[in-house]
Amino acid sequence: MPDTIDCGVTNSETRIRADIEQTLKELIEFDSQEIEQIPTLDIQYLRVTINRTAIDSLKKAALFIKLQTEDQMNWKWVVLSLFDSLYAFAIQALEGGNFERVTFRTESGQLRLIGFDKAIKMCCMDRHMRIYDTSSKLYLSESARISVQLLRSLRNDFIHFIPKLWFVEVQGLPTIALDIIAIIEFLISKSGNIFIEEESRAEILVLFRTCRQELSLDSKADAK
């Protein structure tokens, strides 16, 4: 019969408990030393918002508008950037702080963003744009409407490019870009639905001016 101590626990059980306690103590001391030696990780995150996306795309458009004189393939990036910027600013003008205004549920219950065409159409409708007393809907001239359609068509052809030989007439691209920039400027400055920090607003005004200067030079060169 095994030896026992007063509390009724066998000597072997006591030794096992003592060994476990000692092992745990060593593990804790080891972990403490290891934690002190682990360097602090400088983890960085990309902060993405609809506003930052729209402005970033506008900046990229301005950059590639300037670079297209060096390489005509940069027009592709002008088209993609302007499309993305216009789409994002249209969504921002419509959502008014409520994402449900610009999203819908599929039959399976998945949340989806409204499409580009619907966003532009809604921007032209008072009942969707009248979020505040100072809100104004978008008016598209015939030229602007055609430019929006051409921009969408070009963007889709670039994104879903089917292997082929494709010729894009460069001469008309500055006019399309100028029309799109005018629409973006309205959404930012006159729709009354987009709020941008003063510093960013000043930067955007410079971008508009730079784009117009570059595109006007192209238009004059084409006219010659």
pLDDT at 216: 87
Q: Are residues 33 and 72 in the same domain?
A: no
Residue 74 has pLDDT above 90, yes or no: yes
* Residues 65, 130 share a domain: yes
Per-residue model confidence (pLDDT) at position 5: 47
What's residue 30's pLDDT? 53
pLDDT at 204: 94
Q: Are residues 29 and 84 in the same domain?
A: no
Strands 103-105 and 111-113 turn out to be antiparallel
Same domain, 111 and 2: no
Q: Are residues 34 and 115 in the same domain?
A: no
* Pair 10, 2: CB distance under 8 Å: yes
Q: How many other CB atoms are found less than 10 A from the CB of residue 212?
A: 17
Q: Higher-confidence residue: 137 or 44?
A: 137
Q: Is the pLDDT of residue 3 over 70?
A: no
Same domain, 133 and 84: yes
CB-based contacts of 2, cutoff 8 Å, min separation 6: 10, 11, 12
**Same domain for 102 and 19:** no
Q: Work out the pLDDT band at 88, boundaries 50, 70, 90.
A: very high
Do 21 and 60 have their domain in common? no
pLDDT band with cut points at 50, 70 and 90 for residue 4: very low
Q: Is residue 146 domain-shared with residue 166, that is, in the same domain?
A: yes
The Cα 96–Cα 130 span in angstroms is 10
Question: Percent of the chain at pLDDT above 90?
Answer: 71
Domain count of the chain?
A: 2
73 with 142, same domain: the answer is yes
Lookup: tokens for 19: 């060994």
* Cβ–Cβ < 8 Å for 153, 181: no
Domain that holds residue 55: 50-223
- 107 and 213 within one domain: yes
